[in-house]
Amino acid sequence: MLKVFSSKDKEFFDLFDKICLGIVEGAEVLLRMIDHREESRELALRMKTVEHQTDQVVHTIMSHLHKTFVTPIDREDLHQLAMRLDDVLDMTEAAASRMDLFCPECLPKEVRDMADVLLESAKITQEMVALLRNIKKPARILELTVEINRLEDQADYIRRSAVARLFREEKNPIELIKWKDILEYLERATDRCEDVANITEGIVLENT
């Protein structure tokens, strides 16, 4: 039987929606950093602001969890969902801050590809989490979890291919280290989206 949550549960889902908005904005800011390197400092600061604001939302969720006796979803699932969503933006911000601090030279084409995959993953995560509000469309949620998994596989392939190419072609070892680090954080961000998908899938199976 499908579980429809009451109006008193609305605040939890509103807060999760806010986190997802931050995740999407973070991925968009990262893409702009890649396409407009001259704005790197300004955009890195914007990313930090988005990350800080989202952290505040996560803290609000934790506070509500401590104060709420009966939660709309299993308490541990809510906690893990908030943590993994927060991790997505943390990893995105880590990649952006390294782009700003390292000031790497020639931009590997794979970095743009990874950022595109991350933005797509962020948007799918946003839709997937929003659908948890009443779980009237469990089939759609499960479709989205499969797509998130596919995108994570794609990101992993891009990262491995990029690192292999850099080891073959990059003559400056410092540049290689810089981009390898940035690529790894981008891939970790998509990993965390996959974690969110796995938690969401479990929630759907427990509540339908």
What is the reported pLDDT for 7? 45
Half-sphere exposure of residue 35: CA atoms within 13 angstroms, side-chain side: 9
The tens-digit pLDDT sequence of the chain (208 residues) is 444 444 456 888 999 999 999 999 999 999 999 999 888 899 999 999 999 999 999 999 999 888 877 777 888 999 999 999 999 999 999 999 999 888 777 788 899 999 999 999 999 999 999 999 877 778 999 999 999 999 999 999 999 999 999 999 988 899 899 999 999 999 999 999 999 999 999 999 888 7
User: Are the CB atoms for 81 and 43 separated by under 8 Å?
Assistant: no
pLDDT at position 9: 64
Cα–Cα distance for residue pair 138/17, rounded to 1 Å: 18
Give pTM, 2 decimals: 0.91
- Do 159 and 187 form a contact (C-beta atoms < 8 A)? yes
Q: What is the CATH number of domain 8-207?
A: 1.20.58.220
Q: How far is CA 184 from the centre of its chain?
A: 14
Spans of all domains in the chain: 8-207
Amino acid at 137: K
- Kindly state the tokens that stand for 200: 């969401």
